[in-house]
């Protein structure tokens, strides 16, 4: 159950519209998103868990032409 809560918190952070996804120059991914992507990638590599709840919102964002969350997908692969 603890892992489910951690995945929920990650999803909550990814879905927060008030956080900037890119740095001020508008090109590079923001530090918090890059750090969250690295953490998420290491988490799912170390612990065997269902990745589907995390992938669904990321894929949904990609379908809507919002590619900023692709860094999380890259770390998961």
Q: Per residue in 30-77, pLDDT tens? A: 899 899 999 999 999 998 888 898 999 999 989 999 888 889 999 988
**Average pLDDT rounded to a whole number, residues 3-26:** 87
The reported pLDDT for the residue numbered 19 is 87
User: Contact, 54 vs 7, CB < 8 A?
Assistant: yes
70-to-1, 17, 34 alpha-carbon distances in Å: 27, 16, 10
Degrees (nearest 5) of the Cα angle 68, 70, 74?
Answer: 145
Q: What is the pTM of this model?
A: 0.84
């Amino acid at each position: 159950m603890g892992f489910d809560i951690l995945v929920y918190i990650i999803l909550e952070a990814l879905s927060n519209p008030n956080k900037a996804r890119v740095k001020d120059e508008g090109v590079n991914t923001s530090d918090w998103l890059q750090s969250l992507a690295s953490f998420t990638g290491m988490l799912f590599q170390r612990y065997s868990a269902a990745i589907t709840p995390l992938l669904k919102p990321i894929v949904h964002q990609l379908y809507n032409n919002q590619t900023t969350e692709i860094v999380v997908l890259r770390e998961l692969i």
